[in-house]
Amino acid sequence: MTKAFPILGLATGILLSYALYMALVWAPTEQTMGDVQRIFYYHVPSAWTAFILFFINFGASIWYLIRRNPTADIVALVSAEVGVVFCTIVLVTGPIWARPVWGIWWTWDMRLTSTLVLWLIYMSYLVLRRFSSSGQTPVLAAALAVLGALCVPFVYFSIWFFRTQHPQPVMGGGGSIDPRMLHVLLINWLAFSCFAFLVCWSRYRLEKIQREVEEMQALESLTETPRSVR
């Protein structure tokens, strides 16, 4: 698997470059918004990728709560961390799109507010994991992740349940999209999904090595302690 990493990395790099070209050059220009609509090719795939990662975090947290499996704990941590990165991109690119289209950077509308709340929940999850040294931290974090995951469908469906300024969803929203735009959107999503997979993989390996080193350091300090006591 490690040998495949450079090849997958190169393939993902090519795919990301191709997706960027498709988004900036190949995709047709939207008639009312103009070129600023192209932000959508980064904003929407980032949101979908973040949702998938939060869903993985949810599954891994449930798995950890049931089995206390350390691999599940690492998968939960990694997916939350990378999910937060993608969610940050959603929260940054959204206002940059909104400024020329709506005339404002931000509004306390249900979709925007719930996305911000979702980001805050997963940020608190990461803060808990980073700064709590209790043995119960993975359990508490897993419980928080389960609660956080409940927010994901709420964010997605908020535009159906509430009157919001946010555009309707691309999939299942009742609206229509130019097939070429949909094609570019899906290519960008594929590219970001591959990129997210590679980042998660690297982060997973890093976390695994980190835990092994911590274990070795703990063992070393245990073997050193009797000498200092004597």
Give the tokens for residue 16. 């990301």
Cβ 39 to another protein shortest distance, Å:
4
Complex with another protein: residue 16 or 128, whichever CB lies closer: 16
Q: Kindly state the greatest CA–CA separation across the chain.
A: 81
Q: Are 84 and 122 in contact (CB under 8 A)?
A: yes
Cβ 34 to another protein shortest distance, Å:
5
CA pair distance 157, 10, nearest whole angstrom: 36
Exposed (0-12), middle (13-18) or buried (19+): which is 204, by Cβ within 10 Å? middle
Q: Are 101 and 35 in contact (CB under 8 A)?
A: no
Cβ 143 to another protein shortest distance, Å:
26
Complex with another protein: residue 32 or 136, whichever CB lies closer: 32
Complex with another protein: residue 186 or 213, whichever CB lies closer: 213
Complex with another protein: residue 157 or 204, whichever CB lies closer: 204
User: What residue ranges bind another protein (CB under 8 A)?
Assistant: 20, 24, 33-36, 38-39, 42-43, 46, 82, 85, 88-89, 92-93, 96-97, 99-100, 195, 199, 202-203, 206, 209-210, 213, 216-217, 220
Neighbours of 137 (CB within 10 A): 15
Cβ 153 to another protein shortest distance, Å:
25
Q: How far is CA 128 from CA 22, 67, 178, 188, in A?
A: 40, 21, 44, 32
Complex with another protein: residue 34 or 153, whichever CB lies closer: 34
Place of tokens 């908020």: 158
Cβ 145 to another protein shortest distance, Å:
20
